A and B are shown apart, each in its own frame.
Chain A
């Protein structure tokens, strides 16, 4: 029984890291096909942190980011959050839509929001497909939500679902970098609920 995220063993964390690796690999391939460029993926980082520490992972609570949030229901509920620094999101949109005006504005118009939500949809779908194959569980992604604002504000809105359980969050974070411009990239967070973690570990046979 996973009483709390902090009680996970290294073996269990390794198993989860591997899931993150394959899931994010799938997502990176999907992104690469979508934008027609190579996408490099960092080694997935798995960690358990107190809520108050999470915004620091993405550059501090006030950093201006674009977030695409996908709730997951099914047999192991959780959340996927894609975060891009705003300038990186704009670069990504420029690659997708080839409109110069995208880069001259800080705000996101309706087309840009839709494009990023669809991108989130595709990435989350490919991440979850990999997860479903490995765990034989059913994951149902909701329609994505989009928001560009302070990282702390976005994370707060995403973490409250997990806050009912405890004060810590387990996340698997993967850096995505574009080959054409290595400075452009974002993060993919997979945030399982505590009970889902139990379910996932069981199917992987690593729940002691």
Chain B
């Protein structure tokens, strides 16, 4: 096993092969993985909210989909990644709790996924794979050597995307 950087809730990290990136226990949060296959540089953001414009305290860019994507790109470019080569894979955005008569606000997972896709489109980053939705948690690890994203769950198996 090589070195793995752990990315917690509302955090963001970048790494160069052979250092991998992982996020454990993604629920309604979304793990945004960006990857430059040529430079073998990866970035992972564990976002918990869709939009910084709805929040009062926006100093932590890693917390929101709309600010995490451009920030992640900037950090990867510093490591030597090339913007045009970057691709994206995302996982998470589940709805963990179901409440009777739940309002829009409770569908936070879905809103996180939509906001992530929008932010990626704005940066012109192609989304090549995703494993989102459902009602279960996911642990993910981005292999910076191959660009494969490993996803593990408790009752819904494991896979690579």
Contact = CB atoms under 8 A, between A and B. Distances in A.
A62 B97 contact: no
Interface residues of A, number: 34
Interface stretch (B73-81, B113-121, B125-133, B135-143): B135-143
A164 B99 contact: no
B104 to A, nearest CB: 13
Interface of B: 8-11, 24-29, 46, 48-49, 54-57, 59-60, 63, 94-100, 108-109, 135-139, 154-155
Contacts of A60: 24
A143 B100 contact: yes
Contacts of A171: none
Contact of A51 (B48, B57, B136): B48
A38 to B, nearest CB: 31
B24 to A, nearest CB: 4
A162 B78 CA distance: 32
A163 B100 contact: no
A64 B154 CA distance: 8
A80 to B, nearest CB: 13
B26 A163 contact: no
B49 A164 contact: yes
B25 A151 contact: yes
Interface in A84-141: 106-107
Contact of B10 (A147, A157, A163): A163
A208 to B, nearest CB: 22
Given A145-B98, A154-B96, A51 B27 contact: no
Contacts of A160: 28-29, 48-49, 108
Contact of B137 (A52, A145, A150): A150
B154 A166 contact: no
A27 interface: no
Contact of A156 (B9, B99, B154): B9
B137 A154 contact: yes
24 contacts: A50-B10, A51-B48, A54-B9, A60-B24, A61-B8, A149-B96, A149-B137, A150-B138, A150-B154, A152-B25, A152-B26, A152-B137, A152-B139, A153-B136, A154-B96, A155-B25, A155-B27, A156-B28, A156-B96, A157-B27, A157-B94, A163-B48, A163-B55, A167-B57
